[in-house]
Amino acid sequence: MEVEATSKKQEVLNLTVGALAGILALLVYLFIGSRNETLEVQKLLTSKVEQFALTQNKLDSISTVLDKKIVEVRQLGGSVTELERIKRQLENDKKKLKYDLSFSVQKYTLKIKDYQNFLVLNEEDIRKLKDENGQLRNQARVLEEEKQTILSENEGLRSEKAALTQTVVDYSAQNADLKDKVTLASAMKAVNVKVNALASNGRERDGGSYKASRIDRLKISFIMPSNPVALKNNKDIYVRILDTNGAVVSETGIGGVLWFEGREIGYSIRQSVPFENNDQQVDILFRRDTAYKPGNYSVELYSEGFRIGNGSFAVK
């Protein structure tokens, strides 16, 4: 019985050791398999990273070339519209690449090839543009040479023209000066200017000093001397009556403004006088409803843009 029990124990022990050996062998197998799979994944990831970095470098390189071409074409005076469009498209692809979880080197290889083909075609366009610019420069040089030749040939003509122009300027200045002298000579004159007061009953007082209560109207009298260069026509005579403070004495509906030496000045009354060129006597009557304040008054006469005379009176 003891031998049989010992035999059974030995059998159980052998089974247990065999089972443990089998489990250990399985674990070793699984470990080695898992390790091999990990190495394969690492290799695949390393390859993906290298492809990703290479693709990014190629896109960056193409972007740099595009920037240079844009600058070059602008300097040559060509259109950069298409280049800028491709540059925007490239920058968009670069942005997508950073977040492309399903990165495929084949897809980006096709894109890169398209960009490279565009650069090759654009290089031909740049060469043609350079040739055209060279032709334009040659044409410009020829035209400049012709221009210099014409300028040299016309140097004498320019000198003659300058002399003729100066002569015209001199004659114009002389004519303008003569015109001014004629205008001044033809200007009207008002001499012996007197200011008398007319009462409401028509009685006229002279002497130049009057009581305010006795002034119903003012009578401005003067002589217009004959002038051999003046035209016989109607002359508008403007009368300015100024009070002690220099304000224009006026009546509603009678006065107005006139231009004198580039500015507007007010006047008290205007009267059209037929100029007869015979030292004629002129009388102009002025009436206002408001009484005159005491003080010294001045009278100025204007015609055809000139101040032709002046006078004064006083109010007591």
- Is position 67 within any domain? yes
Look at residue 35 in the predicted model and tell me its pLDDT. 57
Q: pLDDT digits over 110-165, tens only?
A: 778 887 888 888 878 788 878 877 787 777 787 787 788 777 777 766 776 776 67
- Is position 266 within any domain? yes
208, 100: one domain: no
Residue 108 banded pLDDT, cuts 50, 70, 90? confident
Domain termination site, one of 74, 101, 126: 126
112, 196: one domain: no
- Are 218 and 239 within 8 A, CB to CB? no
- Is position 8 within any domain? yes
Query: How many other CB atoms sit within 10 Å of the CB of residue 314?
Result: 15
- Is position 154 within any domain? no
Closest C-alpha among 211, 187, 216 to residue 201: 216
> How far is 219 from 206, CA to CA, in rounded Å?
10
Give the rounded distance of the alpha carbon of 97 from its chain centre. 46
Q: Which residue has the tokens 């059998």?
A: 11
Residue 20 banded pLDDT, cuts 50, 70, 90? low
Average pLDDT over residues 202-217: 93
- Is position 223 within any domain? yes
- What is the torsion angle, in degrees rounded to the nearest 10, for the CA atoms of residue 9, residue 11, residue 15 and residue 21? 90
Residues ≥6 apart with Cβ < 8 Å to 204: 196, 197, 198, 219
Angle, helices 105-153/155-186, rounded to nearest 10 degrees: 70
CATH number where 214 lies: 2.60.40.2560
Look at residue 245 in the predicted model and tell me its pLDDT. 93
Burial class of 249 by CB neighbour count within 10 A (0 to 12, 13 to 18, 19+): buried
- What are the b/e assignments for 159-185, b being 16+ CB within 10 Å? eeeeeeeeeeeeeeeeeeeeeeeeeee
What type of residue sits at position 270?
R
This prediction has a pTM of: 0.45
Domain termination site, one of 126, 158, 175: 126
Domain termination site, one of 126, 152, 179: 126
- Is position 220 within any domain? yes
Q: pLDDT digits over 38-54, tens only?
A: 556 566 556 566 776 77
Residue numbers of the domain that contains 29: 2-126
121, 201: one domain: no
Q: State how many domains the chain has.
A: 2
Look at residue 24 in the predicted model and tell me its pLDDT. 64
> How far is 205 from 199, CA to CA, in rounded Å?
8
201, 275: one domain: yes
- Are 126 and 72 within 8 A, CB to CB? yes
HSE (CB half, 13 Å, CA atoms) of 229? 10
